[in-house]
Amino acid sequence: MQRNLKFAIFGCSVFLALFIAAVGWYGVKATPVGSGYTAKYLCSNVFVSGRDPEPVFREEIVPINPLARFIDYRIDRDQQAVTADAYGGLFARTAIYREGYGCTLVIGIGADELRAQQLIPPERLQTKAMPDETLAWPEGDQGPVDPAGLGIDGAKLNQALDAAFSEPDPKLRRNTHAVVVAFDGRLVAERYAEGFTKDMPLLGWSMAKSVTNALVGILVRQGRLDLSRPAPVPEWQRADDPRHAITIDPLLRMSSGLAFKEIYAPLHDAPNMLYGSADFAAFAAAKPLEGPPDSRWNYSSGTANILARIVRRAAERSGPEYYRFLYAELFDPLGLRKAVFEPDPSGTFVGSSYFFATTRDWARFGQLYLQDGVWQGQRILPEGWVQYSTTPTGGVPKRQYGALFWLNAGSLDNPADRRWPDAPTDAFAALGFQEQMVIVIPSRKAVLVRLGASAPREAWSTNDFIRDVLAALP
């Protein structure tokens, strides 16, 4: 009996030791990612958007960051930096703000070296003319026109905005921050939650992927990239590397075959890349193939960051200050005066996740695609690019993904089986992970923008939002 008891005690002791070791290992690996998320998110919202950090932490970080209850943060406004740590000072991560670049985590590089990076010509920061408020949107920055003059039911449109900002369930917070509706090339409605304004740049999360689509398209128009040629990724250039055959097209379509796991939980690829890596493209490019290119669809932020580095390397052929390309070819022609594409520590803009713009500017971006890539008579995107981007990728459920855009095409055998049942089949969208969205509906001449931080995502219904707005349009 005593011997059995000793074995039981020994077994329990071993199990307890292994459990403690596993918890400790998990904490060591996971907590720096949680600290990094907190530091980076707060830094961007404080120094790019100009928001109060406390409600940002309480309403937007705590509900989705499982480690947030162990994390403390400090805002250094003199150094324009945010530091977050856990358990009384352990696992600290710092993000620093730089004018024109937004915020970047200090990982794999010193803060002084990071601050010394020169990606934007210094004079560019001094010449950011603001939109002309004497002209109507999108050419200028006047407010909404009278919707009745365009045949819109103003009462129904107001009801749609009321619904978008409502909070019917206190346990499922929609947290809508801003809504803009454009119809027939004019701004017809906008509304902002308390503390948000038309001039505040707001994060789009994965809507950045669609902006990356535009930058790739511009390089294609200029003849500097070819979708059908092997992607110029340094890690894949050996002839015996099976990844050598990956072209730019499956990278845009998320069908590259790379083994990247888009799971937003500690120890998985996406957070490890965004909050634990110094070079996001290199992190993703190091992944092996799990299947031949074009054989399966796998949504991947890593793929978007590989494309971002391809854009950077192509733009750098004209000079090291490659952000000049982003401004000259996209931001300035569209009048995106407050747009910020934040870079990773290596200096490559984060094409998967970190693009900030005002709500009106997000609507301008959608209007560019509604107008087939032409802006005020100037072709920005190559002819046929919007059609290419909105052509369904093979093997995707409900044919709901194109080239870095979400689609509403519907199943081949049942077009009614689609992502948003109450929206037309030609609707397509840039979408962010907390229900940020730019929705383009060519058949209704409409662009809908919704920015916020829904937690959980199920609190928000994009289908209902589209249905309610379209009910007001002629």
Predicted confidence band at 62 (pLDDT cuts at 50, 70, 90)? very high
Predicted confidence band at 114 (pLDDT cuts at 50, 70, 90)? very high
At which of 117, 137, 160 does a domain end?
Answer: 117
Calculate mean pLDDT across residues 22-44: 76
Structure confidence at residue 15 (pLDDT): 40
What does the alpha-carbon distance between residue 171 and residue 190 come to, in Å, rounded to a whole number? 26
The domain of 283 spans 147-470
What does the alpha-carbon distance between residue 449 and residue 256 come to, in Å, rounded to a whole number? 30
Q: How many CB atoms lie within 10 A of CB 404?
A: 27
Predicted confidence band at 388 (pLDDT cuts at 50, 70, 90)? very high
H or E segment at 14? Answer: helix 2-47
Tokens of 427: 């609707």
Tokens of 261: 């796991």
Residue closest to 449 by CA, chosen among 437, 431, 467, 440: 437
Residues 94 and 159 in one domain: no
What does the alpha-carbon distance between residue 310 and residue 324 come to, in Å, rounded to a whole number? 16
For residue 85, the 8-state DSSP code is E
Residues 187 and 76 in one domain: no
Residues 341 and 417 in one domain: yes
What does the alpha-carbon distance between residue 80 and residue 96 come to, in Å, rounded to a whole number? 6
* Predicted confidence (pLDDT) at residue 25 exceeds the cutoff of 50: no
Q: Residue 330: which CATH number?
A: 3.40.710.10
* N- to C-terminal Cα separation, the chain: 84
Q: How many CB atoms lie within 10 A of CB 227?
A: 17
At which of 75, 97, 117 does a domain end?
Answer: 117
* Predicted confidence (pLDDT) at residue 102 exceeds the cutoff of 50: yes
Q: How far is CA 17 from the centre of its chain?
A: 41
| Domain presence at residue 324 | yes
Residues 405 and 449 in one domain: yes
| Domain presence at residue 139 | no
Residues 274 and 421 in one domain: yes
* Predicted confidence (pLDDT) at residue 8 exceeds the cutoff of 60: no
* Predicted confidence (pLDDT) at residue 343 exceeds the cutoff of 50: yes
Residues 75 and 162 in one domain: no
String of DSSP letters for 139-190? TS------GGGGT--HHHHHHHHHHHH--S-TTSB--EEEEEEEETTEEEEE
Rg (CA), the chain: 23
Convert the pLDDT of each residue in 393-421 to its tens digit.
Answer: 999 999 999 999 999 999 999 989 999 99
Structure confidence at residue 1 (pLDDT): 55
Q: Which amino acid is at 298?
A: N
* Predicted confidence (pLDDT) at residue 12 exceeds the cutoff of 50: no
Convert the pLDDT of each residue in 202-213 to its tens digit.
Answer: 999 999 999 999
What does the alpha-carbon distance between residue 249 and residue 262 come to, in Å, rounded to a whole number? 20
Q: Which amino acid is at 304?
A: A
* Predicted confidence (pLDDT) at residue 84 exceeds the cutoff of 70: yes
* Predicted confidence (pLDDT) at residue 21 exceeds the cutoff of 80: no
| Domain presence at residue 160 | yes
Tokens of 344: 């990773």
What does the alpha-carbon distance between residue 447 and residue 462 come to, in Å, rounded to a whole number? 13
For residue 302, the 8-state DSSP code is H
Convert the pLDDT of each residue in 232-267 to its tens digit.
Answer: 999 999 999 999 999 999 999 999 999 999 988 777
Predicted confidence band at 83 (pLDDT cuts at 50, 70, 90)? very high
Convert the pLDDT of each residue in 159-218 to its tens digit.
Answer: 999 999 999 998 899 999 999 999 999 999 999 999 999 999 999 999 999 999 999 999
Is the separation of the CB atoms in 39 and 82 below 8 Å? yes
* Predicted confidence (pLDDT) at residue 474 exceeds the cutoff of 70: yes
Structure confidence at residue 148 (pLDDT): 96
Q: Find the Cα–Cα–Cα–Cα dihedral 392, 393, 395, 397, rounded to 10°.
A: -50
Residues 6+ apart with CB under 8 A from 217: 373, 381, 382, 385, 389
Q: What percent of the chain has pLDDT over 70?
A: 93
Number of domains in the chain: 2
* Predicted confidence (pLDDT) at residue 28 exceeds the cutoff of 90: no
Sign of CA dihedral 123, 281, 314, 228: negative
* Predicted confidence (pLDDT) at residue 153 exceeds the cutoff of 60: yes
| Domain presence at residue 123 | no
Residues 58 and 167 in one domain: no
Is residue 360 classed exposed, middle or buried when 0-12, 13-18 and 19+ CB atoms within 10 A define those classes? buried
Structure confidence at residue 14 (pLDDT): 40
Predicted confidence band at 9 (pLDDT cuts at 50, 70, 90)? low
